Amino acid sequence: MTEMPPLTGFVRRSTSVGSEIVAYLERLISTGDLAPGTRLPSERELAAQFEVSRASLREAMHELEVKNMIARRPGRGTIVAESAAWNVDLYERLSEAERTLRDVAELRETIEPRVAELAATRITDSTLIALEEVLHATTAPLDQEESMRLDIAFHMLVAQASQNRLLIALGSLANEWTESTRTLSHAEVKPQVVV
């Protein structure tokens, strides 16, 4: 099991402390900076790192648990949740031919509008903050890898905002299946050279 890296880039806003913590951790999970299976520090350690009360931290951890982004086990700690096993199994069962770009594009065209509609009605303050942070990060010059990472993070945050576990799983699969297309579309992103 991987250990959680040190926390950097946490910014306090005027919203609730719990929402800010959820937004920060949700963004790290959605971008892959906190991989599935990563063990989070203890409640006491996290509260100290975030410089917040344990009550605020518990509120945040509860929201992340409800969103199925973390799993808390008494006596074993808190870890970033794994993708559903059936999600991986479905992907592995489909042949390359069954995962054509056209099919994946049609899947995304079918589900993404509904996901966005549900997200618009169910989004939490924390997810909204995380989305704003991802969108703000895209205003800077990006290399191909960072551009792709933020694109996937954006789509996963919108899926998380839908609060529908099946749609989140489908979104995750669609992201995996469109990796080659994303690589091509993000190849045009050129890092800015300062002269």
Which carries the bigger pLDDT value, residue 73 or residue 189?
Answer: 73
Helix (H) or strand (E) holding 80: strand 77-80
Decide which of 13 and 108 is more confident. 108
Q: What is the pLDDT of residue 195?
A: 34
Q: Please provide the average confidence, as pLDDT, over all residues in the chain.
A: 80
> What local confidence, expressed as pLDDT, does residue 141 receive?
86
pLDDT attached to residue 36: 87
pLDDT at 21 over 80: yes
Residue 28 has which token pair?
């790290």
> In this structure, are residues 17 and 52 in contact, taking their beta carbons and an 8 Å threshold?
yes
Higher-confidence residue: 42 or 9? 42
State the pLDDT at residue 173: 81
pLDDT band at 40 (very low <50, low <70, confident <90, very high): very high
3-state helix, strand, coil in the chain (%, to 5): 65, 5, 30
Helices marked H in 15-124? 17-31, 43-50, 54-66, 85-93, 101-122
Q: Could you give the 3-state DSSP secondary structure of residue 190?
A: coil
164-180: average pLDDT? 81
Between helix 144-162 and helix 17-31 the angle, nearest 10°, is 130
What integer is the mean pLDDT of 24-35? 86
Backbone Cα Rg of the chain: 17
Whether the predicted pLDDT of 112 surpasses 70: yes
Res. 87 pLDDT band, cuts 50 70 90? low
Provide the pLDDT confidence category of residue 122 given band limits of 50, 70 and 90. very high
| pLDDT surpassing 60 at residue 194 | no
Which is higher by pLDDT, 104 or 77? Answer: 77
